[in-house]
Structure formats: structure tokens, C-alpha cells
Structure 1
């Protein structure tokens, strides 16, 4: 057998790619399946310079997928009909694993049953007809809440029927906490099942935050108002601070809108809103046109809040967070407020 120089070059390239691929796969596993971290560790392992050539993310992912599927970084040539992991036995194994732990990710399910992620995903979707249901965050209702909500709706319908302009005179208000770290990311939660389990997840968020008050109506928006002291530090919303906000901020703002003498106010049943002195301050502004706990129209407890687009670009400081809140509130078009009001009117 004649061995040429080209043959040695071929062997050298083959083994270099082989060892490079194994090293890249090892770094990928070692760094939590991060392609960027794998490239960084690869550069350190081979003592490459800052701008030294390393395998691309596509190459690392290609080698990793081959390794997961065949046990080899290099693609094996198919021999006859490809084998399938979707056997009746494997389908039963995956079903039992998912039923035991429906909140586990596909990666963890695959590790538990010692199968590839692709095979587990195919079995879940094609054979078991399971779906990854998203997390739902809802208010928990008590038994008496349903009747209170029904009575509130009936009273509101009566007010709308008695006054065609009732909704145009209504201001809906509330506070909200905006955490600097964002909110519960529902994209990270799945519940694998053949029918929707309507799972509810409660998760406290204890981070730096701001407390914001705002009111909306058909005619526009009042706010945002940040509850903070003179140094810009967050303060708790108390009855006295709520009264101060009504007198120093809401009253002058309200005079810029029509129907001031006939305006209705909605607020929830928070203690700072329903304390005796708070309700007295609210009634000084709105008379007997108060929708609230202990108000002229009782506001039902545990009513849902609106979500926000503040976190579409993640703020890094509290000042940036407040700026994003102001931008989003000021960007709400008047047409949207009108459409919301008309939608409520004709439902």
C-alpha cells in the first residue's frame, strides 16, 4: 500500500477536526449549554489569542447534535433505514415520565428517560399529542367574590342606562409596583399535558421597585405619580400620602378635563384608599360619585390589574424604570382610550 503525503494531510485534518469537536462539545456541556461560553473556554484551552479563530456557534451546535444523536461528533453515514426512538415502549416511558413531572423541561425529561431531546419532543407532540401550556397568572377568587362581582356589574349597567355620558365621566385609578428585575417570564414555564390543566403559579418578587399611581378616562390620563420622598426613595402608600397626592397632584390635573363637577372616581379597596380620612378626601373631590370599597358603588375585591409594556427594553436603574413608565403612559393614544370605553359600552 502506497502512502502519499496527501494521505497524511488528510489524517492530520481529520484528527484535528475530531479532537477540536470533542473539546468544543465538552466546553458546551461544562458551561451550561452556552455557545458563547463554550467558545470562550475553547480559546482558553488552546491558548488562542483574543482574536484567534475558534469554531463557530453553528459548528459547535452541529457537533453537539451529532453527538446527542449518534454518540459521535462526526455525522455517521446512514446504513439502510434510519432507526427511530418512537417505539411503543419509549412512548410509554415518556408518557409516564411526563405524567409524574409535567413541569419539567424537555431537556430534563430527555435526561430522565435517557433519550435525545428531539426524540422526546417528537413523542410528546406527534404520538402523545401533548402541548406545552403557558403559565397563567390570575387572581384567586373566593366564593363570595362572584356574587359581589355580579352586583357590581348590575349597578354599573344601571348607571350607564340612566346616563348616556356616564362612561365619559368615569376615571379609573390604581397603583402598581414595578420591579427593576421585571416580572414573571411566562415563556420559561410550560406544563406538558394532553388537555389544558389551567395551572396557576404564585411567585413573590422582592427586588428594587417603584410604586406608581395613574388614572385613565375617555378624555385622557392623569399621571404617573410616583410615591417617593424628597430624596426620590420609595415610600409606602399610606392614607396620609394618598390624601396628599389627591390634593396636590390630582385636583389641579382634574381641572384640565371636562365634566369636573360630575366626574366619577373608581379606586380599589386598598387600606390607604378606604381609610376614613382617605374617603373624606375622595368625596371632597367627587361627592357621591365614588366607586370603591365603602363607596357609593362597591368595588369588588381581587379585581384584575392591567399588564404593562414597560419591560420590552429592560431598565437597569430605578431612574430608567421611571422613565420607561412615563414614556409608555404618555404614548397611549387617545383613540385607544375611546375604543376601550366604547367596547365597554356595547358589551
Structure 2
């Protein structure tokens, strides 16, 4: 606000955009840029209203951040965090944009679940057995391991396939 007032007053005194820009560069450094439209806008605001502050915006009031909508969305996603925003919009009668805005205002964000196989005490014995079998095979046929391509590009699911690509839940913090 103070800079706007200085710009407007200097333009009023000097009546030159170039002089105001030159002063601005001396004041803020050689790479500081001040657009001529900014200078004229600051000056015209000062002349019309007596202030360089922005005028109050008019238009439709925002209902997406109303306390009532935020309360509805918070209750919905606290009860069932796996709900999609489209489903929540259908159930509540709100728009999807309103649901997303409300989630953002209560600091909820989508989290992807990380599924992993639970390791049981029997798994330790199975791993030792597998290692012993592989060592025996290596002793019997050492070129077997030269014919195996070892990569980390494949995902092997022990208890079945779980596609979690489109799974997410909404919460403030990742409960891991």
C-alpha cells in the first residue's frame, strides 16, 4: 500500500511515467520493472477515491466455504474417508467444486493406501527353505542363475492381486 501511494504521488508530482519508472529502478534495483498501467492505475485510484487500496469486490458470494458446507463435507469424509468427491457431491447435493474446496479448507487431502503382505512366523522358515533350495540348485547347475533376469520392475503379490491405483482415502494426515 505504501509503495502504491509513493508511485501515485510521484506520478502526480512529475507527470511522467518514465521518471517514475527510473525512480523505481533506482529504489528497487536495476532489474525492477514497473508497468505503465500500474502507475496509471495507482494514480487514478488515488484521484478518484483518495486511497490506493483496492475497491471492495462485487459479485456472487462464495457458498463453497460456508460453515454449513464445510461441516457436511467433514462429517461425510470422517465417516467414510474412501468416498470419492463425485459420490460425496451426489449424496450431499453440493457441487464437486464445493466439496473439493471444503476438503481443502479443512486440510484434507487424498492419500494412497500402501498394501503389504503381513509376515507371519511361518514365513521365516519358508524363506530359509527357499534359500537352501536355491543354494543347492546353484551348486548343481551354476549357469541357471545366469539365465535369470533380475529386475525390480515386477510386483509379486503373495496373497492375490490388489490394484490400488485408483484407491485413495481423504484425511488430514496419512495414518500409514
Alignment TM-score > 0.5, same fold: no
**Bigger RCO (CA 8 Å, 6+ sep):** 2
TM-score bracket relative to the smaller structure: 0.3 to 0.5
Which structure has more helix as a fraction of its residues?
Answer: 2
Task: Name the structure with the higher strand share.
Answer: 1
TM-score by length of structure 2 reads 0.43
- Compute the TM-score of the two structures, normalised by the length of structure 1: 0.23
